[in-house]
Amino acid sequence: MITTIISVVAYVVLAPLVGGLLAGLDRIVSARMQGRVGPPLLQPFYDVFKLREKEDITVNNVQDFYVTCFFFFVVVTGAFFFAGGDLLLVIFTLTLASVFLIVAAFSSNSPYSQIGAERELLQMMAYEPMVLLTAIGFYMTEGSFKVKDIISGGAMDFLPLVGVFFGFIFILTLKFRKSPFDLSMSHHAHQELVKGLVTEFSGKTMALIEVAHWYENIFLLGFVFLFFANGTIWGAVIGVVVCLLAYFLEVFIDNNFARMKWQVAINSAWLVALILGVINLFIVYLI
């Protein structure tokens, strides 16, 4: 119980710090790839503090409520995960958080935010099958959906689930909102003049969304970590290194591909889930 409480508190306190630093590194690496110097490492924190100081301007009374629910359930999702909870509960809670953000965008009655909300729904349709297949893969190799059981397992799940791993890395492009699949919104100005899903958000509301994304990114990298966790220090070190490599792979892809149509996102994500995910699970079942 003490370990669980410490893990949850560490996530709640440290996740936005680490997530903000990763966002700062993202901007610097992206700038260098484009031949620019880039902003300072702490620029994402400066942006959030600046948003916090802006005047509150909302389209309607319920918008802030939905965004607050989105932030709350993102944090709860990560807390469940780092407490060693059930993966299925974690996935369903994260989906609920995304639904609140979509409803917040729809509530603004802006055509730009509504199109972004519709695209967000399409993204969910694209990545959810692979996320569920990942959870099923861990169950087939470890015999449990519990994160604590997967982490304490004696062997790395990467080798038996190598196809599932690369399938999950593929859909991370959708979850991290990176090109070519940043359909609903983009964190970078080079993609669009209007910010899609979050067009009508500003001030403290926008700051809350940014911090929620930092929490979400750390939680998603935790999924990558699970493939290498085996209850040893070396497994933990390898897992952290792979998480960093996976994140910067997504940054590299973001800076080398233009946005594609939503049809390509869905078709490619489902094709990857079918080829890498289902076939990998079928092989694990036979073995």
Residue spans per domain, the chain = 2-286
Cα–chain center distance at 80? 15
What's the pLDDT at 64? 87
pLDDT tens, the chain, 287 aa long: 788 888 889 999 999 999 999 999 999 998 898 888 888 999 999 999 998 888 777 777 788 899 999 999 999 999 999 998 899 999 999 999 999 999 988 888 788 888 888 888 988 999 999 999 999 999 999 888 999 888 887 778 888 999 999 999 999 998 888 888 877 776 665 555 456 778 788 888 889 999 999 999 999 999 999 999 888 889 889 999 999 999 999 999 988 888 888 888 889 999 999 999 999 999 999 88
Around Cβ 155, how many Cβ atoms within 10 Å? 12
CA distances from 34 to 3, 37, 159, 243, 254 (A): 44, 9, 36, 24, 11
CA distance 22 to 211: 12
Residue with tokens 């979509």: 102
What's 15-48 look like in SS3?
HHHHHHHHHHHHHHHHHHHCCCCCCCCCHHHHHH
How high is the pLDDT of residue 194?
A: 59
CA pair distance 4, 266, nearest whole angstrom: 37
| Token pair of 152 as six digits | 């304490």
pLDDT of residue 180: 83
